[in-house]
Amino acid sequence: MFFVFSKILAFLLAPMLHSLFCLLASGLFLLIRAKFLALLCLILAGALPLLYSWTFFGEQLVRPLENYADIPTREVLDRAAGVIVLGGYAGNGMISADRQEPQISGAGERFIKAVELARLYPKKQVWFSGFSGQLTPTGWSEAESTAYLLGQLGLPVSRFSFEVKSRNTFQNAAFMFDELRPSEEQDWVLVTSASHMKRALASFNAAGWASLVPYPVDF
């Protein structure tokens, strides 16, 4: 239920719907004869798309989140027990299945960084965590798309590990904790998009992770 609620809430909070909400509010204010508020909402409905797309307003809002964690040094990475890469970078699973060609989304830097770290540290575990973030999953899962991509790059899929049940960050954290049972002395590198890192770390800490090394990508 929480997963469904989180997806619905994320959809309703999407910036692309803000203008629609302002238009609806404007109509409601007209019904109760609040003309000033109706006009204000109507102006916002036209101004918000311009504000979001033609100014730096959106970038300034997301910048504090992206600056939450620094890219770790090589020394810190050397000490880590392994790497966990959060899903969300695979494209439309149905298209991947129909075309028999794995798709990749705008968050593809997560996958690229995972491959880079796997090559840099051939003896460290590299985990991909995620089944599908879709409300009703269809086609290939994240793991299936990832395995196909690894094969296309000439990498042995057996070199990597997969957690194939999680649907959101909360489940990423809980299922990976159950899978690895990390000790307090172990540092695990957590790879995800920079704007998601603060939320991801909070979810992992709540699940019992004591020591994580954030590696933000996809700025």
DSSP letter at 104? B
Query: At a CB cut-off of 8 Å and minimum separation 6, what does 109 contact?
Result: 89, 193, 217, 218
What is the arithmetic mean of pLDDT over 21-30? 91
Indicate the pTM of the whole model.
0.84
Class of domain 70-217: alpha beta
Give the pLDDT score at 53: 80
- Distance, in Å, from the CA atom of 196 to the CA atom of 83, rounded to the nearest integer, reads 17
- Gap between the Cα atoms of 41 and 47, Å rounded: 10
pLDDT value at residue 133: 64
Q: State residue 155 phi and psi, 5-degree precision.
A: -100, 140
Lowest mean pLDDT among 59-68, 79-88, 142-151, 157-166: 59-68
Of 126, 119, 112, 115, the residue nearest 82 (C-alpha): 126
Contacts of 137 (CB under 8 A, 6+ apart): 93, 131
